[in-house]
Structure 1
Amino acid sequence: MNSSERVLGTSARGHLFAFRQLTDGVPHVHEADLKRRRRTNGEPGHEATPDESATDP
């Protein structure tokens, strides 16, 4: 049990469990999706990963 689960009640633990199942346990899914939507292909500094910037000409 992590610190956020200790503070939350039993029903909140159930919500956390369901959330983790729906997101495959990946944190910050919504924020990552927002960043992906704002990313401009080909724009310097808008690469999703460091590997993408290394492959640009």
Structure 2
Amino acid sequence: MAGEQKAKGKMEQAKGKTKETVGRTVGNERLTAEGRAEKAKGNARQAKEKTKDVFKR
């Protein structure tokens, strides 16, 4: 389960980075903001899973 959540976090980070880059390229501020938010969500998920791993040891 933890591996699945880590992968989901990585996917959110990549998707967010792509959206942010495309938004900047075409000058769409809303898309850029969505990308930043999605990337932050992925970062938070990754941090949560890393914290859980630390406490499992």
Larger radius of gyration: 1
Same-fold call, TM cutoff 0.5:
no
TM-score normalised by the chain length of structure 2: 0.32
TM-score normalised by the chain length of structure 1: 0.32
> Greater share of helix residues, 1 or 2?
2
Higher RCO, 1 or 2 (CA under 8 Å, sep at least 6)? 2
